[in-house]
């Protein structure tokens, strides 16, 4: 069959033509075409990447702002809290100090009173002693005038020197 | 569309019925029989799908219109160069270093003084003529160059913009070959095979389509010629072999994970397979495209076969044959694309196999 017997002439021309076609197309057609396609795809991919990055950055920025706001709020709360605590502490301290002073003053007063009391009692004792001595002296001076009279006199003295 | 086919089929049946009826009528009328030369469909078909020294346009015998092509012969007495028109469509002898004549199969033969074929001298001449297929090869190569250089030009002009015009028609195809054929079959090293894959794809596709055009720039059975498909397959084979790595040869000569006794059987099969692949590539493309041409020609021949019986039958069958050929033509458009795709895909798969790196063969042991 001639149909399945390759003709040498056609093989020869095919090798030359296809070879030339291949090298010309490879250099002047496929290389620029594939290069441009790659470049375009790369540009698209890069643009998408950049868009994504920008979006992520925006999101990061927003969340950062929110963080800052929250932080500021927290700080404010902390400051307020601290201030309140300090005020409370001061108040309590002052109250305690005042109480202490009052107590100290009361103590001093009690002590003064005690001293005064003692002094008064000592004075009373001294007075009673002197009175007794006085009475005893008077009694002794009037000793001789009878028993009834004597007794009456003592009573009279006792009434006179009523201690109250 | 479907109703159209249905009506066509109905019409066809009518035609066939009429044809059968006409056969009886014809046999009843002996004076209608046997024109001078009986129509030989087989010869006509083989002539049309075979290579030729002239580019046939129309007609036959005396009234043939054909473009004569240059004949280039390499003989032991030097190169011969003359027009195939000198053969007068096979009727005349051309004198040069020898006397040449075209034989029945459209091949150049050396003839002696008494017009007898000199087989010994014929065996010594090398025919490098620009035959119909060579001319068609030049034409399709020129077409490819014009189209793809202009596409490349518009890529340069349109850099960074969306494709335009013819560029936007070919871009998806180029991307398809890159992404779905090369990247998938070859892997990360696909880039160095891209020019070859693109060239064979478009060469085969354009060749297939040009073969479907019945008139001059087309009409040659270029991609249905075994010399063309064989050369392409040999290119694929050479590229595969040059790029093959250790792993590929290891797979061929000693398939890993296979017991030694089996290797005795497997290795010859694998070695055969290496050479069988380009052979199968050759045959597949050749057979598919040639078959398409034969089918189209057969249906047209039917017209003349029936026409010899009776002109009316020929006319009737003609309607049916043309309708069927339109359908076959659409199918052949698809086949032309599919065969270009298959050839490219298989080439890419062979390149991929040649480049494949060794991986675990656990699965092959199991």
Handedness of CA A135, A138, A140, A142 (dihedral sign): negative
Residues constituting chain A: 164
Residues of chain B in contact with residue A22, where contact means CB-CB under 8 angstroms, are 195-196, 199
Give the pLDDT of residue B348. Answer: 95
**Which residue among A3, A9, A17 sits closest to B138, beta carbon to beta carbon?**
A17
Sheet with B108-111, side-by-side order of all strands: B94-95, B99-102, B108-111
Answer whether residue B204 shows pLDDT above 50: yes
Average pLDDT, chain A: 89
- Residue in chain B nearest A11 by alpha carbon: B227
Residue in this structure with the two tokens 């298959």, named with its chain if needed: B342
Instruction: State the smallest CA–CA distance between residue A1 and chain B in angstroms.
Output: 10
| Contact criterion met (CB < 8 Å) for B151 and A33 | yes
Give the pLDDT of residue A164. Answer: 55
Give the pLDDT of residue A97. Answer: 95
Structural domain including A111 reads 44-160
Residues of chain A in contact with residue B51, where contact means CB-CB under 8 angstroms, are 7, 10
From CA A83, how far away is CA A80, in angstroms rounded?
Answer: 5
Residues of chain A in contact with residue B150, where contact means CB-CB under 8 angstroms, are none
Asked whether residue A25 is assigned to any structural domain, the reply reads no
Measured in whole angstroms, the distance separating CA B181 from the mean position of its chain's CA atoms is: 22
**Percent with pLDDT over 70 in chain A:** 95
Token pair of B105, please? 């199969």
- C-alpha distances (whole Å) from B96 to each of B8, B82, B123, B229 are 56, 9, 17, 33
Token pair of B61, please? 């015998």
Give the pLDDT of residue A60. Answer: 94
The string over A45-81, giving b where at least 16 C-beta atoms fall within 10 Å of a residue's C-beta and e elsewhere, is eeeeeeeeeeeeeeeeeeeeeeeeeeeeeeeeeeeee
Confidence of residue B37 (pLDDT cuts 50, 70, 90): low
Give the pLDDT of residue B177. Answer: 95
| Contact criterion met (CB < 8 Å) for A4 and B286 | yes
pLDDT in tens, A103-152: 999 999 999 999 999 999 988 888 888 888 888 877 777 665 667 777 78
Give the pLDDT of residue B345. Answer: 96
| Contact criterion met (CB < 8 Å) for A9 and B198 | no
- Residue in chain A nearest B172 by alpha carbon: A37
Residue in this structure with the two tokens 């061929």, named with its chain if needed: B252
Answer whether residue B38 shows pLDDT above 60: yes
From CA B184, how far away is CA B279, in angstroms rounded?
Answer: 24
pLDDT in tens, B219-261: 888 999 999 999 999 999 999 999 999 989 988 888 888 888 8
Residues of chain A in contact with residue B235, where contact means CB-CB under 8 angstroms, are 18
Give the pLDDT of residue B22. Answer: 45
From CA B80, how far away is CA B18, in angstroms rounded?
Answer: 55
Q: How many CB atoms lie within 10 A of CB B60?
A: 13
| Contact criterion met (CB < 8 Å) for A33 and B49 | no
From CA A18, how far away is CA B232, in angstroms rounded?
Answer: 9
**Percent with pLDDT over 90 in chain B:** 42
Q: State the total domains in chain A.
A: 1
Answer whether residue A83 shows pLDDT above 70: yes
CB B320 within 8 A of CB B11: yes
Confidence of residue A16 (pLDDT cuts 50, 70, 90): very high
DSSP code of A1? -
Residues of chain B in contact with residue A17, where contact means CB-CB under 8 angstroms, are 134, 137-138, 141
From CA B139, how far away is CA A128, in angstroms rounded?
Answer: 161
Give the pLDDT of residue B234. Answer: 96
Answer whether residue B28 shows pLDDT above 50: no
Answer whether residue B46 shows pLDDT above 60: yes
Average pLDDT, chain B: 84
Answer whether residue B312 shows pLDDT above 90: no
Confidence of residue A102 (pLDDT cuts 50, 70, 90): very high
Asked whether residue A3 is assigned to any structural domain, the reply reads no
Higher pLDDT, A81 or A139: A81
Give the pLDDT of residue B29. Answer: 41
What integer is the mean pLDDT of B322-330? 93
| Helices marked H in chain B | 2-28, 41-49, 119-124, 132-157, 166-176, 184-186, 194-212, 226-243, 246-253, 260-309, 311-355, 362-365
From CA B232, how far away is CA B289, in angstroms rounded?
Answer: 15
Instruction: State the smallest CA–CA distance between residue B134 and chain A in angstroms.
Output: 6
| Contact criterion met (CB < 8 Å) for B155 and A33 | yes
pLDDT in tens, B5-17: 454 545 544 545 4
Give the pLDDT of residue A65. Answer: 93
**Which residue among A10, A21, A32 sits closest to B227, beta carbon to beta carbon?**
A10
CB B227 within 8 A of CB B50: no
Q: Tell me how many residue pairs between chain A and chain B have CB atoms under 8 A apart.
A: 124
Asked whether residue A24 is assigned to any structural domain, the reply reads no
Question: Residue B216 contacts by C-beta under 8 Å, 6 or more apart in sequence?
Answer: B55, B57, B67
Lowest model confidence (mean pLDDT) among A109-123, B30-44, B66-80, B338-352: B30-44
Lowest model confidence (mean pLDDT) among A42-46, A131-135, A145-149, B82-86: A145-149
pLDDT in tens, B89-114: 777 888 888 888 888 777 888 888 77
What integer is the mean pLDDT of B177-195? 93
Long-range contacts of B73-82 (CB under 8 A, 24+ apart): B73/B100, B73/B108, B73/B125, B73/B126, B73/B127, B73/B128, B73/B129, B74/B125, B74/B126, B74/B127, B74/B128, B75/B124, B75/B125, B75/B126, B76/B124
Lowest model confidence (mean pLDDT) among A76-85, B115-124, B232-241, B350-359: B115-124
Asked whether residue A28 is assigned to any structural domain, the reply reads no
Give the pLDDT of residue B160. Answer: 74
Give the pLDDT of residue A148. Answer: 77
| Side-chain half-sphere CA neighbours of B133 within 13 A | 28
What integer is the mean pLDDT of B116-124? 83
Give the pLDDT of residue B360. Answer: 55
Asked whether residue A7 is assigned to any structural domain, the reply reads no
Asked whether residue A134 is assigned to any structural domain, the reply reads yes
From CA B118, how far away is CA A32, in angstroms rounded?
Answer: 54
Asked whether residue A23 is assigned to any structural domain, the reply reads no
Asked whether residue A72 is assigned to any structural domain, the reply reads yes
Residues of chain A in contact with residue B148, where contact means CB-CB under 8 angstroms, are 25, 29-30, 33
Residues of chain A in contact with residue B232, where contact means CB-CB under 8 angstroms, are 14, 18
pTM strictly above 0.90: no
| Contact criterion met (CB < 8 Å) for B203 and A21 | yes
What integer is the mean pLDDT of B157-175? 88
**Percent with pLDDT over 90 in chain A:** 64
Higher pLDDT, B217 or A31: A31
| Contact criterion met (CB < 8 Å) for B156 and A9 | no
């Amino acid at each position: 069959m001639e149909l399945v017997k390759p003709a040498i002439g056609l093989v020869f021309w095919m090798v030359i033509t296809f070879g030339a076609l291949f090298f010309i197309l490879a250099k002047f057609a496929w290389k620029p075409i594939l290069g441009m396609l790659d470049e375009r795809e790369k540009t698209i991919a890069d643009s998408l990447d950049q868009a994504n990055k920008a979006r992520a950055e925006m999101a990061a920025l927003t969340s950062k702002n929110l963080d800052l706001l929250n932080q500021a709020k927290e700080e404010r709360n902390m400051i307020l809290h601290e201030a309140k605590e300090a005020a409370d502490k001061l108040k309590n301290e002052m109250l305690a100090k005042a109480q202490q002073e009052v107590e100290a003053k009361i103590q001093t007063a009690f002590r003064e009173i005690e001293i005064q009391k003692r002094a008064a009692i000592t004075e009373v004792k001294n007075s009673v002693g002197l009175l007794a001595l006085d009475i005893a002296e008077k009694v002794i001076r009037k000793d001789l005038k009878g028993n009834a009279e004597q007794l009456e006199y003592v009573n009279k003295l006792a009434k006179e020197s009523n201690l109250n | 569309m479907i109703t159209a086919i249905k009506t066509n089929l109905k019409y066809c049946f009518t035609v066939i019925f009429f044809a059968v009826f006409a056969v009886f009528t014809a046999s009843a009328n002996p004076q209608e029989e046997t024109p001078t030369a009986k129509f030989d469909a087989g010869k006509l078909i083989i002539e049309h799908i075979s290579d030729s020294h002239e580019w046939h346009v129309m007609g036959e015998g005396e009234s043939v219109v054909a473009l004569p092509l240059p004949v280039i012969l390499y003989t032991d007495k030097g190169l011969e160069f003359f027009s195939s028109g000198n053969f007068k469509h096979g009727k005349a002898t051309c004198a040069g270093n020898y006397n040449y004549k075209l034989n029945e199969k459209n091949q150049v033969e050396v003839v002696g003084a008494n017009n007898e074929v000199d087989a010994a001298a014929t065996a010594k001449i090398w025919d490098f003529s620009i035959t119909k297929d060579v001319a068609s090869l030049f034409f399709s190569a020129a077409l490819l160059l014009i189209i793809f250089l202009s596409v490349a030009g518009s890529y340069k002009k349109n850099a960074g913009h969306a494709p335009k015009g013819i560029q936007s028609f070919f871009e998806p195809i180029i991307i398809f070959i890159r992404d779905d054929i090369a990247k998938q079959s070859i892997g990360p090293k696909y880039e160095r095979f891209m020019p070859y894959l693109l060239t064979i794809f478009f060469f085969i596709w354009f060749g297939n389509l040009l073969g479907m055009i019945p008139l001059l720039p087309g009409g040659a059975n270029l991609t249905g010629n075994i010399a063309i498909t064989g050369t392409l397959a040999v290119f694929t084979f050479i590229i595969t072999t040059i790029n093959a790595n250790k792993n590929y040869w290891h797979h061929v000569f000693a398939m890993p994970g296979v017991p030694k006794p089996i290797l005795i059987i497997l290795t010859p099969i694998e070695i055969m397979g290496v050479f069988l692949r380009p052979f199968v590539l050759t045959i597949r493309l050749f057979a598919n495209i040639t078959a398409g041409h034969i089918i189209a020609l057969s249906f047209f021949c039917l017209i003349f076969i029936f026409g010899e019986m009776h002109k009316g039958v020929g006319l009737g069958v003609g309607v049916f044959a043309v309708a069927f050929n339109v359908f076959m033509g659409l199918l052949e458009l698809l086949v032309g694309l599919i065969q270009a795709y298959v050839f490219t895909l298989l080439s890419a798969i062979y390149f991929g196999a040649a480049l494949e790196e060794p991986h675990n063969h656990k699965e092959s042991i199991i």
